Amino acid sequence: MNKRTHALTALFGVAAMAGGAFASPSITIDKVAQRWPWNNNVDITYTIADGTDLATATRAGEGYLKVVFTAKIGNDTYTIDGASDVIANVDSGTHTVTWTNAPAGVKMTNCGMSATLYDIDAYYMLIDLNTGKYAFDTLQGNDTATAWPSAAAERFNTDRYKTDMLVLRRVPRTSKANTAYSSGYRTGCDTHYGAGSDATYKNSATNWVTDRDFFVGIFAVTWSQYSKVVGIESSSTTKPVNGSLSSWTILRNSKTSDTELSADAASGSFFERLNALVGVSTGFDLPTEVVAEIARRGGKTTHFIWGDTFSINNLSPRWASNPGDVGCSANKHPWGLYTTTGNGIEWCLDGEARADKADAPDPWTPYVSESSSRMATSGPRWSAGSDGETGARLSHRQATTSLETEFRVYYVAR
């Protein structure tokens, strides 16, 4: 376990307290209940005080917690990870998780259960789309922040995390502590603006200083994930939602308060329903053009994710007209995002592409054009022709009303 400052352990009915860089969190185990008839399921109810507030944590760049439970049954000890084994919320309040693989035949009457809160350097946020619960996790083993392929990223490349779950990668805010990107995250390119229809949109090289963390989905949203959130049936599972959504208005969040979200939780757009499901205000939405490019560059300043020289062999082995499952990308993204370079581009929050992305006042503010109903899309999209190489560049963007378009989930505290 990679912990930064403190570990807080609580036994039944005892709250553990400790100091730190934020308000002292505490955890109390309230109840451990064995399911009956016995089916190896055990419900653990616990209460956290001064836990992780997602909006506050992302603005401060710290305060991400993780809980690990320890069950002592007779002479045997079992560890239950609050991110990989169960999705254990670490925000303030009372929560219940279900330990689904308790040992067969064990009776919980002689179970001693404890819990430890870790203050972690969170790299991932995991969301259970069946319950709305979310948890944070860190890197695994000997992984580094920019390793590829990495166990941290590859362990999520399974059907579970493409159907029942969402996995988001944290992009730390720029600061002196974030030494790799203390001068900002790069977008754009000064040597080539575009060709053909893309020549309208300049991409002057800019370093963006970000004043908050944000999270980005490591996969494009699949039909299974989309169906769970909006309540429809879909025969496709791990293929991306592609080419069937005619407008961003059935995706993006237009609500301005928690009250509005709650009132429309069962009939709103994809992101309105997702915000209401998770219960973290209005942070989940499409990205701005700037945020989208920061994410897909993964800190790279080159034209392409692999360097400055174009090669069709480096493109993702998927095409918009016949997309494969998410997670099949050959692109070596430094932050472990999948399929960031290929023939599928992604919806952005902007109502129109800016003439020059460098004109944005900050990374978070979308551009709204009253003269156009075209939505901005962003991402490398290769097609045959004279401008094929340009379309495959990391800074590629355009405005459109209809394209084979995908989308990812982002969280930004606004």
CB 268 within 8 A of CB 252: no
CB 148 within 8 A of CB 334: yes
Question: Which residue has tokens 């229809």?
Answer: 197
Q: Which of 6-10, 75-79, 279-283, 363-367 has the lowest mean pLDDT?
A: 6-10
CB 68 within 8 A of CB 9: no
List pLDDT tens digits, range 25-46: 999 999 998 877 667 789 999 9
The mean pLDDT of the chain is 80
Please report the pLDDT score of residue 249 as a whole number.
Answer: 65
Residue 383 identity:
S
Q: CA–CA distance from 148 to each of 18, 167, 309, 331, 332 (Å)?
A: 36, 17, 20, 10, 6
Architecture of domain 156-251+286-412: Alpha-Beta Complex (3.90)
Where do the domains of the chain lie? 3-120, 156-251+286-412
CATH number for the domain formed by residue range(s) 3-120: 2.60.40
Residue 62 has pLDDT above 50, yes or no: yes
Q: CA–CA distance from 247 to each of 17, 166, 202, 238, 403 (Å)?
A: 49, 22, 24, 22, 10
Phi, psi for 63 (deg, rounded to 5): 95, 20
Q: Which of 66-75, 156-165, 232-241, 405-414 has the lowest mean pLDDT?
A: 232-241
Please give the structure tokens belonging to residue 62: 């710290």
SS3 labels along 299-338: CCCCCECCECCCCHHHCCCCECCECCCCCCCCCCCCCCCC
Q: Is the peptide bond before 361 cis (omega within 30 degrees of 0)?
A: no
Please tell me the distance from the alpha carbon of residue 326 to that of residue 158, in angstroms, as a whole number: 10
Residue 161 identity:
Y
Domains 3-120 and 156-251+286-412 share a fold: no
Closest listed residue to residue 116, CA positions, set 4, 5, 11, 2: 11
Q: Residue 184 — left, alpha, or beta (φ > 0 → left; ψ -120 to 50 → alpha)?
A: left
Which secondary-structure segment (H or E) carries 291?
helix 289-297
Residue 18 has pLDDT above 60, yes or no: no
Please report the pLDDT score of residue 135 as a whole number.
Answer: 97
- In terms of pLDDT, which residue wins out, 99 or 281? 99
CB 89 within 8 A of CB 54: no
Please give the structure tokens belonging to residue 42: 């055990």
C-beta atoms surrounding 403 within 10 Å: 18
List pLDDT tens digits, range 116-157: 999 999 999 999 999 999 999 998 766 777 766 555 667 888
Q: Where are the alpha helices (DSSP H) in 89-234?
A: 151-154, 160-163, 223-230
Please tell me the distance from the alpha carbon of residue 119 to that of residue 5, in angstroms, as a whole number: 6
- Percentage of the chain with pLDDT > 90? 35
- In terms of pLDDT, which residue wins out, 27 or 269? 27
- Percentage of the chain with pLDDT > 70? 74
Q: Is the peptide bond before 149 cis (omega within 30 degrees of 0)?
A: yes
Task: Report residue 396's pLDDT band, with 50, 70 and 90 as the boundaries.
Answer: confident
- In terms of pLDDT, which residue wins out, 330 or 220? 220
List pLDDT tens digits, range 293-347: 999 899 988 888 888 888 777 776 555 455 678 887 656 788 888 887 766 688 8
Q: Enter the pTM of the model.
A: 0.89
Task: Report residue 185's pLDDT band, with 50, 70 and 90 as the boundaries.
Answer: very high
Closest listed residue to residue 377, CA positions, set 347, 332, 334, 411: 347
